[in-house]
Amino acid sequence: MSYHDHSHRLDHNKPFHPLQIAVLTISDTRTNDTDRSGPRLISLLQRDGHTLAAYVIVPDEKERIEAQLRAWIADPSIQIVLATGGTGITKRDVTPEAFHAVYEKEIPGFGELFRFLSYEKIGTSTIQSRATAGLANRTLLFALPGSTGACSDAWEGILRWQLDSRHQPCNFVEMFDRL
């Protein structure tokens, strides 16, 4: 894999702070038995020391996605939401629209960096991804494509590091008190 290794940027003199992360799979067809991307994210976040706060599957319906996001945004115990699915450009792909409806602030660099990393693997096909991220009520929200590969790429190339309190020169965790 061509992930950029950031392990040299971890300050092991600083403590690791596990985060409470909710995982949302957005799909009209996936069930608990057939979803692979949600469980991939769960496996990765738990491997790296974080806690799964919740896991839900909702259909590709803007109102249902927004309602789930708003419920988790209102829950002070949930710090991060990772969503997978619905970020393409078909009629049913409404995840970015739902996320934008709840953002207080967008984090455009996430989508830009995700597509940059994805380009190394899938070339120009990455242009079809509308991966996005933002902040609402001190909760960080990340919308990833629905493939397991894209979820792994986003976690290994970006989220693993930015959600690690030891990552230097900066990370999202150290900002929580100022959000």
How do the pLDDT tens digits run along the chain, 179 residues long? 445 678 789 999 999 999 999 999 999 999 889 999 999 999 999 999 999 999 999 999 999 999 999 999 999 999 999 999 999 999 999 999 999 999 999 999 999 999 999 999 999 999 999 999 999 999 999 999 999 999 999 999 999 999 999 999 999 999 988 98
Is residue 37 assigned to a domain? yes
Residue 26, phi then psi, degrees to nearest 5: -115, 110
pLDDT, position 135: 98
Measure CA 22 to chain center: 9
Is residue 12 assigned to a domain? no
Is residue 11 assigned to a domain? no
Identify each DSSP E strand in 60-138 by its residue range: 80-84, 105-106, 132-136
pLDDT, position 6: 81
Is residue 131 assigned to a domain? yes
The three-state secondary structure class of 100 is helix
pLDDT, position 1: 43
pLDDT, position 3: 57
Instruction: Kindly report the CATH number assigned to the domain that includes residue 59.
Output: 3.40.980.10
Domain of residue 111: give its range: 17-178
Total Cβ atoms within 10 A of residue 1? 9
| pTM attached to this predicted model | 0.95
Is residue 26 assigned to a domain? yes
CA 146, 151, 157 angle in degrees (round to 5)? 150
Is residue 10 assigned to a domain? no
Domain count, the chain: 1
